[in-house]
Amino acid sequence: MTYERRKTRQIHVGSVPVGGDAPITVQSMTITKTAAPVPIVADIHNQYKRALEALEAGVQCIRLNPGNIRNAEHIKTVAAECRDRGIPVRIGVNGGSLDQKLYDKYGGKVTPEAMVESARVEMAYFRDVGFDDVKISVKASSVPLMVEAYRMLADDPFFVDADGASVPLHLGVTEAGPMPAGLLKATAGLATLLLEGIGDTIRYSLTADPVEEARAGRQLLESLGLRERKGLDLIACPSCGRAEVDVIEVAGRTQQALDGMNIPIQVAVMGCVVNGPGEAREADLGIAAGRKRGHLFVKGKVVKVVPENEMVDALVAWAGIIDSEGIEKAIEMGDPGAAAEADADRALLLDEQGEDANDAGTRIDHIRKLEEER
Ligand code: SF4
């Protein structure tokens, strides 16, 4: 399934295209020295002269905050300089530092309308000097507010050019906070918009290492199918009364062992052989535990049965086989007796545990009793 992306103009931040048919990009805020070969965006507040200095220093993009650089002539000076140097600008509206005049105009509240109007006012200054190499953000720390502001921006004909392309959008939930709550908050906002085809570049603003921000961005795009998977997609069952191993522990070790291998596969860690291989039959590779052994399966087909303490090593070895030989060949290379061994283990477990290993019948009776007592 693909999502129809809204038509935007393409700009270039250094060698990275943003908007148009370019892949959605991920950016982060660096707190390290910036002599790296990635495009640098200088984030400018309050003093327009800092923007001119940053341009002189050779940055690849400027972000201007319309909320705290408000003098029209100053903004036009920066815009003209960017135009002459061919450097794009992000008009970075922020709910927390909205222009006071707009704040007052909209009843002393930060509203989506006020944020979009701020972007319009700024964009008009850029157009005055014949420059529209611009992307826009309307960030807020409230998810519903930023989602609504971006939707309005995306629908606003003011930002559409003669070719029908609108301005590229940079998405973000600002000051999302520490993980995991910050990650959830940012993902809620970003994913909602991306699934509507809105957004050309994204940033996670987490109170965390910038590497985590970049990783979160990449993983979000991969999980939405908006970027080709480059690495591991680990799935694991939630575990239940049937689990034959500590699924959290095995999944953690698997993640650690496979993360650095950069193999674009989905790997499943399942707690039992009764339901595991079936439930995870779509995974490229998986392991399910049972009777102190691990059943290793490729696309649902059991290829090997290994001792429980070798489960993670076996996953690493077979991930390598899939990477070098492909799925079909890996299945062919499986142990011919593995499927029969696995069936026998499964039958024995079902015998031992019965069909109702989670004791659901007793639980249901208990709940019914409680309801009757009410
Ligand atoms: S039935 Fe098996 S695979 Fe499913 S949650 Fe329980 S342990 Fe995991």
Q: What does the pLDDT profile of the chain (374 residues) look like in tens digits?
A: 557 899 999 999 999 999 999 999 999 887 777 778 789 999 999 999 999 999 999 999 999 999 999 999 999 999 999 999 999 999 999 999 999 999 999 999 999 999 999 999 999 999 999 999 999 999 999 999 999 999 999 999 999 998 999 999 999 999 888 889 999 999 999 999 999 999 999 999 988 888 889 999 999 999 999 998 888 999 999 999 889 999 999 999 999 999 888 899 999 999 999 989 889 999 999 999 988 999 999 999 999 999 999 999 999 999 999 999 999 999 999 999 999 999 999 998 888 877 666 666 777 777 778 777 77
Judge whether 166 lies within some domain: yes
pLDDT of residue 33: 75
Total tally of structural domains belonging to the chain: 2
- Burial code (b: 16+ CB inside 10 Å, e: under 16) for 195-224 equals ebebbbbbbbbbebeeebbebbbbbbbbee
- What is the domain range of residue 55? 11-223
Judge whether 358 lies within some domain: no
Strand order in the sheet with 293-298: 233-236, 266-270, 285-290, 293-298, 301-307
- Residue 219 shares a structural domain with residue 238: no
From residue 104, how far is each of 60, 114, 161 by CA, in Å?
A: 35, 10, 30
- Residue 151 shares a structural domain with residue 173: yes
Which among 333, 295, 332 has a CA at the least distance from the CA of 315? 295
Q: Is the CB of 268 under 6 A from ligand 1?
A: no
- Residue 40 shares a structural domain with residue 123: yes
- Residue 250 shares a structural domain with residue 182: no
Compute the residue count for the chain: 374
Ligand 1 centre distance from Cα of residue 359 (Å): 13
Q: Is the CB of 266 under 6 A from ligand 1?
A: no
- Residue 176 shares a structural domain with residue 280: no
Q: Is the CB of 240 under 6 A from ligand 1?
A: yes
Ligand 1 centre distance from Cα of residue 279 (Å): 9
- Residue 213 shares a structural domain with residue 289: no
Nearest CA to ligand 1 atom 6: 240
- Residue 242 shares a structural domain with residue 196: no
Judge whether 4 lies within some domain: no
Ligand 1 centre distance from Cα of residue 288 (Å): 9
Atom index in ligand 1 nearest the CA of residue 273 equals 2
Point out the domain boundary residue: 223, 251, 273.
223
- Residue 57 shares a structural domain with residue 137: yes
Judge whether 330 lies within some domain: yes
Judge whether 66 lies within some domain: yes
For the record, the structure tokens of 173 come out as 């939930």
Ligand 1 centre distance from Cα of residue 346 (Å): 13
Check which CATH number belongs to the domain holding 308 and give it.
Answer: 3.30.413.10
Ligand 1 centre distance from Cα of residue 243 (Å): 6
Check which CATH number belongs to the domain holding 145 and give it.
Answer: 3.20.20.20
CA distance 285 to 89: 45
pLDDT digits (tens, 9 = 90+) for 245-263: 999 999 999 999 998 888 9
Ligand 1 centre distance from Cα of residue 273 (Å): 8
Q: Is the CB of 63 under 6 A from ligand 1?
A: no
Ligand 1 centre distance from Cα of residue 369 (Å): 27
Judge whether 105 lies within some domain: yes
Point out the domain boundary residue: 201, 223, 245.
223
Point out the domain boundary residue: 223, 245, 265.
223
Backbone angles phi, psi at 319, to 5 degrees: -65, -40
CA distance 136 to 153: 9
- Residue 277 shares a structural domain with residue 246: yes
pLDDT of residue 178: 86
- Residue 237 shares a structural domain with residue 208: no
- Burial code (b: 16+ CB inside 10 Å, e: under 16) for 132-143 equals bbbbbbbbbbeb
- Residue 77 shares a structural domain with residue 180: yes
Judge whether 75 lies within some domain: yes
pLDDT of residue 366: 79
pLDDT digits (tens, 9 = 90+) for 173-226: 998 888 899 999 999 999 999 999 999 999 999 888 888 899 999 999 999 999
Q: Is the CB of 279 under 6 A from ligand 1?
A: yes
Judge whether 3 lies within some domain: no
Q: Is the CB of 355 under 6 A from ligand 1?
A: no
267's CB contacts (< 8 A; 6+ apart) are 232, 233, 234, 235, 254, 258, 283, 284, 285, 286, 315, 319
- Residue 33 shares a structural domain with residue 167: yes
Nearest CA to ligand 1 atom 3: 276
Which among 347, 284, 353, 370 has a CA at the least distance from the CA of 319? 284
- Probe target for ligand 1 pocket from 275, 287, 352, with the most ligand atoms within 8 Å of CB: 275
